[in-house]
Structure 1
């Protein structure tokens, strides 16, 4: 009955188990523990009282490894499929983004043309109003009629330009 003070790795070497298993065994058996000067855990143990037989590696562990390997392979396949799907979605996004940019440019162009047409219409309406007041006050009807004809031609030409744009 000799009591020894061992580290987990030394205890594991004596019992033919890993240091992690030795630590687990020490905790399970509630063996007294302390710290060495270098910071390692020391366990006070009487090896004669410990009846521990290490379990041989079971075939279940090999089956678990095979199962995990197949699961990892399946996950790799799923990741590849998701990456391909994401690439397709990215291409759709880029296409729609380009389309939206084109539509925005067309909208800005149409807005500018509409503003120009409104300004031209306001200018022409002002000229028509001036000509009407002149026609009422001025005796030279020929000049007024000629100017009204020119204004009508300008209106028709502006209307044609707007229809083409």
Structure 2
């Protein structure tokens, strides 16, 4: 094929590329250039030597800063989601411990009330026994002998002790 003098636009039309791509190709291949009478650049091209297949067009590349910011935001979002999930697991574990300790505290409060009631009953029982002992010592009972009263009182005391012992074993 003969050598042709073409403008960048004509070269781009022949090769099915843009005018800027034709200009870049002429520079890369160091094709001889000259100026026409109207001031446009002319390129001397021998199409038999020029073996050129254009690359398929790719979309415009996104701004690398925007891509980086989007990637950081995605990582942040994933990291925040992971942290939230971890904190929810920790909160669930603490909640279980809290519930277990609350139930234990309630059981201890019930046991404390029972122990308090038993202590009050024991104090009342001790006071009644002290009164009975004082009555036996002073013999305040009119018309009764000391030996008869002591025997009856001793029987009552023994029955009360057996009753208290049976009640304690039942618990």
Answer yes or no: is 1:73 the counterpart of 2:78: yes
Aligned position for 1:120: 125
Structure with more of its chain in helix, by fraction: 1
Counterpart among 72, 83, 102 of residue 97 in structure 1: 102
- Tell which has more relative contact order, 1 or 2 (C-alpha 8 A, sep 6+): 1
Alignment of structure 1 residues 1-165 onto 2, 5 Å: 58-134=63-139, 140-154=145-159, 156-157=161-162, 160=165, 164=169
- Structure 1 residues 129 and 147: alpha-carbon distance in aligned structure 2, compared to 1, 3 A threshold: farther
Q: Which runs of 5+ in 2 are unaligned?
A: 1-60
User: TM-score if structure 2 supplies the norm length?
Assistant: 0.55
* Structure with larger Rg: 2
CA distance in 1, matches of 2:158, 2:113: 28
Q: Which deviations, in whole Å up to 9, do the C-alpha atoms of 1:23-62 show, x marking residues without a partner? A: xxxxxxxxxxxxxxxxxxxxxxxxxxxxxxxxx9621111
Q: Which runs of 5+ in 1 are unaligned?
A: 1-55
CA distance in 2, matches of 1:78, 1:116: 57
Root-mean-square deviation over aligned CA pairs? 2.7
Aligned length: 109
